[in-house]
Amino acid sequence: MSGTVKDHIDYAYELDLAIKPESSVPIINREYGVFSGPGVPLFSIGGGYFRHALQQILVNFHSRRGYLVVETPLIASSELFKLSGHMDFYKSNMYILNIEDREFVLKPMNCPYHLLIFLNHIARFRSKVKLPFKIFEIGRVHRFEPSGSLYGLLRVRGFTQDDAHIITFESDTLNVILNVFDEIKLLLESVFNLPISQDNIRIRLSLSDKNLIGKDFMGTIEEWSSAEDTLEKITSIIAEKYGIKASIGVGEAAFYGPKIDIIMTLKSSSGVKEWQMGTIQFDFNLPRRFKIYDIIREVYGDNRVYIIHRALIGSIERFLGGYLEHYRGRLPLALAPIQVAIIAIKTGDWKVDEVILDKTINIREKLLSNGLRVGLKESTKTSLPGDIRSIESTIKPPIIIYIGAREVRESILTISIFSHKEMKRISKTIKYSSLDEALTELENIIRGEEEGVIKISGFAPRIPADLSHML
């Protein structure tokens, strides 16, 4: 490899393609610098920003809703996963490591660690621990997928779940699950502008195959029947409450219990596709294996509990892949790597240009100090169309502010905001007497256009950064 910067960029992508069996990684992901090792995506350029922004939103969202936020290691002794039953029922999906003659695994799920945390809590704090007890983690897991089935961000070997486990009394199960569904709705609608309707979401009740209980599904027929009956009732309640369709998948349950899967319909370059995203899973096996029934009976005098495994969006990688395809790379304001691009349109008259640049830099500073991710680009009347094309085909900032001679002369800001509802840009002009006033007005406009950003404003991510070099 020698020569130009472009050669090196091409080389990076060639390498990406060479180690990946499919060559059709959605081009849209590459614009944010998201590309794949063999089933393990790398997030660079803007990708790293939107990913961290999303993780920050998820952490704040869950801590506000009473979840204990934790972080657990990527590797574990295989003993832990023997105890959980994974080494018997899930081994073919797991990566096994040998370190100093001891067997370790890359964790394929976070549950065993979360149960250790719960046991530790209840051992220390006894009945001060109130059920339902909710544990959340941005949980990185690794699962084997055959190389032929890997696909961009949508099917990978290492991914990250918005994973939580809820330990609840049987009697609270319905409320707990309805609450989780409310969380799914709130998150999709407020952060992602994805309203829940029967056009874009359905649920699937995934049951065991009765012939394979004891073989592929852990537990007894009685335990499965009782959990499946309960979950069936809850599924119809959810379908009715949210006006969405429900179907049944026999044999699709997790090995430890039946589940409700959230299936989203998203547009892609190759047509409309269905993807499994969030999930709500019932578990009566892990409590027994981790002796949770015993300690719960001892502490509360009633041991009828379930463990509920749940993820609201499921895999962060898959969700982002699907979302980027669906909205053709248009991220919502809360997640966009560059939220505001300021374009200074220079005139060639140095006196005027000095005022334009002054104003532009002033606005950039104010936006940065308000916690926004900002990029600034100097342009001219002639180069403006090309600059806009280039920005719109790469980093796609939700907001563009133009400052040229007219804007300075008339004390106005010309603003272009991308609307996900209309899938196009909407232009506005703000007349102001002070910059602070203009920025307040800008905030009001965003409030109207990007309803969601404001609903989550209390826990909106703050990763301010000047990312001008990306424009």
Residue 213 touching Zn ion (CB under 5 A): no
Nearer to Zn ion, 143 or 309 (CB): 309
Among 51, 140, 142, 309, binds Zn ion (CB under 5 A): 309
Least distance CB 300 / Zn ion (angstroms): 22
Instruction: Kindly state the tokens that stand for 45.
Output: 């350029």
Helix (H/G/I), strand (E/B), else coil: 177: helix
From the CB of residue 127, how many other CB atoms can be counted at a distance below 10 Å? 11
Cβ closest to Zn ion, residue 86 vs residue 420: 86
For Zn ion, which is the closer residue by CB, 114 or 364?
114
* Contact positions with Zn ion (CB under 5 A) in 364-403: none
Q: How many residues belong to the site for Zn ion (CB under 5 A)? A: 3
Give the shortest CB-309-to-Zn ion separation in angstroms: 3
Q: List the interface residues with Zn ion, window 181-200 (CB under 5 A).
A: none
Nearer to Zn ion, 114 or 204 (CB): 114
256 versus 418: smaller Cβ distance to Zn ion: 256
- Binding window for Zn ion (CB under 5 A); candidates: 56-64, 182-190, 201-209, 306-314: 306-314
Q: Which is nearer to Zn ion, 25 or 164 (CB)?
A: 164
User: Could you tell me the smallest distance in angstroms from the CB atom of residue 111 to Zn ion?
Assistant: 3
**Shortest distance in whole angstroms from residue 114 CB to Zn ion:** 7
**Helix (H/G/I), strand (E/B), else coil: 1:** coil
Torsion angles phi and psi, residue 81, rounded to 5? -85, -10
What is the nearest approach in angstroms of Zn ion to the Cβ of residue 131? Answer: 17
**Residue in 24, 95, 93 with CA at minimum distance from that of residue 321:** 24
Which lies closer to Zn ion via its Cβ, residue 35 or residue 136? 136
CA 157 vs CA 154, 297, 339, 455: distances in Å: 10, 39, 30, 34
CB 134 to Zn ion: min, Å: 13
42 vs 392: CA distance, rounded Å: 23
Residue count of the chain, please give it: 471
Q: How far is the CB of 381 from Zn ion (least distance, A)?
A: 57
In angstroms, what is the minimal distance from the CB of 88 to Zn ion?
Answer: 16
Which is nearer to Zn ion, 264 or 307 (by Cβ)? Answer: 307
Rounded distance between C-alpha atoms, residue 75 and residue 110, angstroms: 10
Q: Which of 247, 277, 249 is nearest to 262 (CA)?
A: 277
Taking the least distance from each CB to Zn ion, the nearer of 120 and 393 is 120
The minimum distance between CB 228 and Zn ion, in angstroms, equals 18
Min CB(66)–Zn ion separation in Å: 18
Which part of the chain contacts Zn ion (CB under 5 A), choosing from 128-136, 147-155, 307-315, 440-448? 307-315
303 Cβ contact list (under 8 Å, min separation 6): 293, 294, 296, 297
Query: 330 CB contacts (<8 Å, ≥6 apart)?
Result: 396, 398, 418, 420, 423
Draw the binding track, 101-130, toward Zn ion (x: CB under 5 A; -: no contact).
--------x-x-------------------
Comparison of 204 and 309: residue with beta carbon closer to Zn ion: 309
Q: Is the dihedral of CA 13, 14, 20, 21 positive or negative?
A: positive
List the Cα angle 113/114/116 in 5-degree steps. Answer: 65
Q: Which range touches Zn ion (CB under 5 A), out of 19-27, 154-162, 308-316, 451-459?
A: 308-316
Query: What 3-state class would DSSP assign to 41?
Result: strand
Closest of 166, 174, 58, 171 to residue 118, by C-alpha = 166
CB 393 within 8 A of CB 31: yes
The site for Zn ion (CB under 5 A) is made up of 109, 111, 309
